[in-house]
């Protein structure tokens, strides 16, 4: 008598392990998901970590006289580096001194050759 829920065709093949046929690696539903997570990591997280490492290195190497840009767009020259993780900038044209958190500094300004002349 045929049981509708079970398929016993593997019994007729002669080998007891015929139902465990070799399948392609991509037929497993977890493999594409794992591959997508790996690609996602390589495309998004790795470059973000590199950029954060470069920013942290730049913040550690700040010194007086460096020309920097803050995350608010303020461009100024570093006057002092506080021990409490702050920096003081001198901003043109009135030489106003502003105090910022060291983490507010986002980049150093590279002076072009024409500005130096």
User: Among the three residues 20, 40, 61, which one is the final residue of a domain in this structure?
Assistant: 61
Q: What is the 3-state secondary structure of the chain?
A: CCCCCCCCHHHHCCCCCCCCCCCCHHHCCHHHHHHHHHHHHHHHHHHHHHHHHHHHHHHHCCCCCCEEEECCCCEEEEEEECCCCEEEEEECCCCEEEEEEHHHEEEECCCCHHHHC
Q: What is the pLDDT of residue 77?
A: 94
Is residue 1 domain-resident?
no
Q: What is the pTM of this model?
A: 0.62
Q: What is the pLDDT of residue 81?
A: 92
How many structural domains does the chain have?
A: 2
Range of the structural domain that residue 96 is part of: 64-110
Kindly state whether residues 57 and 74 are assigned to the same domain: no
Kindly state whether residues 70 and 53 are assigned to the same domain: no
CATH code (residue 100): 2.30.30
For the chain, what percent of residues have pLDDT higher than 70? 72
Each residue's pLDDT tens digit, 75-99: 999 999 988 889 999 999 999 999 9
User: Among the three residues 61, 76, 97, which one is the final residue of a domain in this structure?
Assistant: 61
How far is residue 107 from each of residues 14, 79, 113, measured CA to CA in Å?
72, 16, 19
Between 100 and 27, where is the model more confident? 100
């Amino acid at each position: 008598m045929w049981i509708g829920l079970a398929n016993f065709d593997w019994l007729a093949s002669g080998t007891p392990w015929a139902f465990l046929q070799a399948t392609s690696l991509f037929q497993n539903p977890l493999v594409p998901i794992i591959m997508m997570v790996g690609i996602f990591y390589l495309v998004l997280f790795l470059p973000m970590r590199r950029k954060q490492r470069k920013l942290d290195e730049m913040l550690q190497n700040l010194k007086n006289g460096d020309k920097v840009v803050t995350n608010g767009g303020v461009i100024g020259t570093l006057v002092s580096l506080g021990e409490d993780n702050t920096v003081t900038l001198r901003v043109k044209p009135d030489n106003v001194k502003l105090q910022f958190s060291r983490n507010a500094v986002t980049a150093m300004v590279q002076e072009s050759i024409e500005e130096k002349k």
